[in-house]
Amino acid sequence: MNIRTNLIQSVIGALSGKADDKIIDLVQDVLIIQLNRYELNERCTEVAIRDDTAEGILGKYIATKRIEGKAETTLRRYREQNLALITYLGKHLNKITTNDIRFYLSVKRQRDKVSNRTLDGMRRCYASFFKWRHNQP
């Protein structure tokens, strides 16, 4: 049985014994006609599971940026840059400080010989993510 049929049967069942058959038939016909205009979905009342892992939070951030209309290449860069930082530092997101990010950027400049322009792009990725993170409830 579908949701529409279940709903109609529930209403008719509630009226049984409280209204005469003519009224019950009328209510059933009205429900069938009126509900035909709508798509019915059962409400989900399950408890949502929060994903507070770094990857889960990063996924929410990327989803938010996607809704804002960012290009897929930009989203990929945001994800890759932030994930690399988080993985390298090995800390929970709430424990990452500005000094941690400075340290990581210094390591990238010294070890990987990354240009200042590239470092600035990386810094903007981190700033965007951590600003978003800070503003989340």
CB atoms inside a 10 Å sphere around CB 105: 19
Enumerate domains of the chain plus CATH numbers: 3-35 (no CATH), 54-135 (1.10.150.130)
| 53-63: pLDDT as tens digits | 898 899 999 99
Exposure string (b/e) for 67-104, b if CB count within 10 Å is 16 or more?
Answer: eeebeeeebebbbebbeebbeebeeebeebeeeebeeb
For the entire predicted model, the pTM comes to: 0.63
Q: Give bridge partners of residue 19 from the DSSP assignment.
A: 16
CB atoms inside a 10 Å sphere around CB 62: 18
Q: How far apart are CA 3 and CA 42, in angstroms?
A: 7
| Pick from 46-55, 63-72, 75-84, 127-136: least confident | 46-55
